[in-house]
Amino acid sequence: MTSLDVPSRMPARVPTPRPGDPRLARLSLNQRTTANWTLAEAIEGSVRAGIGSIGVWREPLAEVGLEAGKRMLDDAGLRVSSVCRGGFFTDPATFYDALETNRAAIDETAFLGAETLVLVAGGLPAGSRDVVAARDRVIQAIALLVPYARERGVNLSIEPMHPIFAADRGVISTLGQALGIAERFDPADVGVVVDTFHVWWDPEVLPQIQRAAGRISSYQVCEWITPLPPDALLSRGMMGDGHIDFATLTAAVAAAGYTGDVEVEIFNADVWAADGDAVVGTLARRYVELVQPYL
Amino acid sequence: MTSLDVPSRMPARVPTPRPGDPRLARLSLNQRTTANWTLAEAIEGSVRAGIGSIGVWREPLAEVGLEAGKRMLDDAGLRVSSVCRGGFFTDPATFYDALETNRAAIDETAFLGAETLVLVAGGLPAGSRDVVAARDRVIQAIALLVPYARERGVNLSIEPMHPIFAADRGVISTLGQALGIAERFDPADVGVVVDTFHVWWDPEVLPQIQRAAGRISSYQVCEWITPLPPDALLSRGMMGDGHIDFATLTAAVAAAGYTGDVEVEIFNADVWAADGDAVVGTLARRYVELVQPYL
């Protein structure tokens, strides 16, 4: 109880939950949190820690091959809480290539027996200042992909991204905006991802989570820390190290009827440089302290 | 025409407007753009460039003293488009001190004959995760300050800040949220600042600018650039170097009836390190190319 958490500087305030602890039942390790682990290592690390679910990224999955990857996941008895990721629809020069890539991502999601494909919209095309047009292309792309995804039982899950990423990564910037798109479709076909890092600041976040009832296909947690690390893409922190009110947001997501897994997804150079098992231990402690009680 | 702009890498596409050029009539130099200039230097630099208005910061004003500063501004014939800044209301430990500081800022604004005091809300108090409470304190503070400001003819101008600053600088994150506060008061007493850097990403920005008709007390321009510079506070760019659609935003502000000055406010280490006159020349060129035609 007096040891420091890794990679945080905050002392551990709760013991590491042991495998089989019922509080871990809905915890999922998003692979990007332990970015230096292969899929096999992430699976083994999750099992060692008693985490029963994993958010799979396509690139490390491709390294072992789809069929081998599925066998490894099945052998370990892990659920796949989401596949990351589809999207990147905003550049007219690559629009049809992006649709093809997304169909492949839908196929992989279905093959893994997962339901949720996370969509990151994409940023402004090079040289463009037309965020309205970029947002329109996201809607068009989703409309074109829905029939394909529906046939395969895959939910296209729009992830609104923090406005810090609006220019270069994700032009869908608020939960309300994501819902405005998702609501054009059946909830079984198009959902939304609620990631605390992306939405915590939004003055409308609580009513929008309520509005999202029946549409939340993934709940992801990570922290907004200050000072913000220099690389915006790697600026996410370990829950508890920053400013986000996980109790309120988690309770709102639960009140909206979400019963799925809770992914911890942290892009952070310090987290990536730390020992994977230590990171998983820390996030499990923080999760049972800060998130799980409010589910 | 073939020389590079400073500190941008983009070649100058229009000649530097000369003093007396009518297109400069509404341009204002926010002092923070030439942060290494004293007030005297900023006044002289503005006059050399033919810029007739200035956004004054309290700290460099205090360095010369209020009365001397006013004399310098009057002698130069410069308008004061805004005083920066009041606010920082969110910490209960310093709430009443902040009110005192804001009353002093109101006094200075009135003494300079200016109408607009820019309010930056402030971030989360140390250790707090309660952004709702922080936002409530902003409303309380403004309500307490309005009678004092009204007596002195000063408009309390709420500046919504980009969500990148929600934790540590400004918990008012959208124009809609700022308007929701401002609309509790008379438009002469409480207005809003539209700064392109802070609002460009917002999917609701155009309807909210329309809603702001009669409430816009300052229009500030600067650019969102990528990759985002490592220090978030100094991440603003020169217009034209990034992703913001100045034409659309400026036309919307004009359509909302805004007839005031347009401040260029750029927090950026490269801009600050560059020669002040070169920066002012560049911003004047960019302004007449990218902003002024849409006013």
Pairing of strands B79-87, B116-120: parallel
- CA distances A38 to A45, A57, A58, A176, Å, are 10, 10, 12, 35
Residue B227's pLDDT is 94
Element (H, E) at B207: helix B205-211
A197 Cβ neighbours under 8 A, 6+ residues apart: A162, A220, A222, A223, A224, A236, A244
Beta-carbon separation of B163 and A201 below 8 A = yes
Beta-carbon separation of A163 and B164 below 8 A = yes
Q: Are A54 and A31 in contact (CB under 8 A)?
A: yes
Q: Are A210 and A178 in contact (CB under 8 A)?
A: no
CA atoms within 13 A on the CB side of A131: 28
> Which residue bears the tokens 């829950």?
A239
Q: For residue A228, which residues of chain B lie inside 8 Å, CB to CB?
A: 164, 232
All structural domains of chain A with their residue ranges: 22-294
SS3 A36: coil
Provide the residue-wise pLDDT of chain A in tens; the chain has 295 residues: 334 566 666 777 889 999 999 999 999 999 999 999 999 999 999 999 999 999 999 999 999 999 999 999 999 999 999 999 999 999 999 999 999 999 999 999 999 999 999 999 999 999 999 999 999 999 999 999 999 999 999 999 999 999 999 999 999 999 999 999 999 999 999 999 999 999 999 999 999 999 999 999 999 999 999 999 999 999 999 999 999 999 999 999 999 999 999 999 999 999 999 999 999 999 999 999 999 999 9
Residue A2's pLDDT is 32
Beta-carbon separation of B129 and A245 below 8 A = yes
| Nearest residue in A to B123, CA atom | A243
pLDDT band with cut points at 50, 70 and 90 for residue B9: low
Q: Are B79 and B113 in contact (CB under 8 A)?
A: no
Condensed to tens digits (0 to 9), the pLDDT of residues B161-186 reads 999 999 999 999 999 999 999 999 99
Greatest extent of chain A over all pairs of C-alpha atoms, in Å: 55
Beta-carbon separation of A245 and B200 below 8 A = no
Greatest extent of chain B over all pairs of C-alpha atoms, in Å: 55
Of 3.65.10.10, 3.30.200.210, 3.20.20.150, 3.30.2420.10, which CATH number belongs to B22-294?
A: 3.20.20.150
Phi, psi of A261 (to 5 degrees): -75, 160
| Nearest residue in B to A176, CA atom | B203
Condensed to tens digits (0 to 9), the pLDDT of residues B134-168 reads 999 999 999 999 999 999 999 999 999 999 999 99
Nearest to B201 among A163, A224, A242 (CB): A163
Shortest distance between the Cα of A170 and any Cα of chain B, in A, equals 10
- What is the rounded distance in angstroms from the CA atom of residue A84 to the CA atom of residue A104? 12
Shortest distance between the Cα of A190 and any Cα of chain B, in A, equals 20
Condensed to tens digits (0 to 9), the pLDDT of residues B76-104 reads 999 999 999 999 999 999 999 999 999 99
CA A109 to chain centre: 14
Given a cut of 90, whether residue B3 has pLDDT beyond it is no
Residue A1's pLDDT is 32
Within a 10 A sphere around the Cβ of B10, how many other Cβ atoms? 12
Q: For residue A17, is the peptide bond before it cis, meaning its omega torsion is within 30 degrees of 0? A: no
Q: For residue A242, which residues of chain B lie inside 8 Å, CB to CB?
A: 167
B271 Cβ neighbours under 8 A, 6+ residues apart: B7, B33, B238, B279
Beta-carbon separation of A228 and B224 below 8 A = no
Q: Measuring CA to CA, which residue among A248, A194, A203 is closest to residue A222? A: A194
| Nearest residue in A to B239, CA atom | A129
pTM: 0.95
| Nearest residue in B to A202, CA atom | B173
- What is the rounded distance in angstroms from the CA atom of residue A290 to the CA atom of residue A249? 11
- What is the rounded distance in angstroms from the CA atom of residue B138 to the CA atom of residue B185? 14
Average pLDDT for B189-212: 98
Region for A113 from its dihedrals, namely left if φ exceeds 0, alpha if ψ lies in -120 to 50, beta otherwise: left
Mean pLDDT of chain A: 95
- What is the rounded distance in angstroms from the CA atom of residue A24 to the CA atom of residue A261? 10
Contacts across the A-B interface (CB distance below 8 Å): 80
User: How much is the ipTM here?
Assistant: 0.94
- CA distances B14 to A220, B24, B271, Å, are 48, 14, 20
Condensed to tens digits (0 to 9), the pLDDT of residues A147-205 reads 999 999 999 999 999 999 999 999 999 999 999 999 999 999 999 999 999 999 999 99
Q: Are B112 and B73 in contact (CB under 8 A)?
A: yes
Residue B6's pLDDT is 65
Nearest to B130 among A230, A245, A246 (CB): A245
| Nearest residue in A to B132, CA atom | A203
Residue B249's pLDDT is 98
> Which residue bears the tokens 């969509």?
A119
Beta-carbon separation of A226 and B168 below 8 A = yes
Residue A9's pLDDT is 63
Most A CBs within 10 Å, among B177, B243, B291, to test the A interface: B243
Most B CBs within 10 Å, among A129, A158, A177, A205, to test the B interface: A129
- What is the rounded distance in angstroms from the CA atom of residue B3 to the CA atom of residue A264? 50
First to last CA, chain A: 24
Residue A7's pLDDT is 67
A168 Cβ neighbours under 8 A, 6+ residues apart: A123, A124, B226, B227
pLDDT band with cut points at 50, 70 and 90 for residue B13: confident
Given a cut of 90, whether residue B2 has pLDDT beyond it is no
| Nearest residue in B to A225, CA atom | B167
Burial bucket for residue B93 (CB in 10 Å: 0-12, 13-18, 19+):
exposed
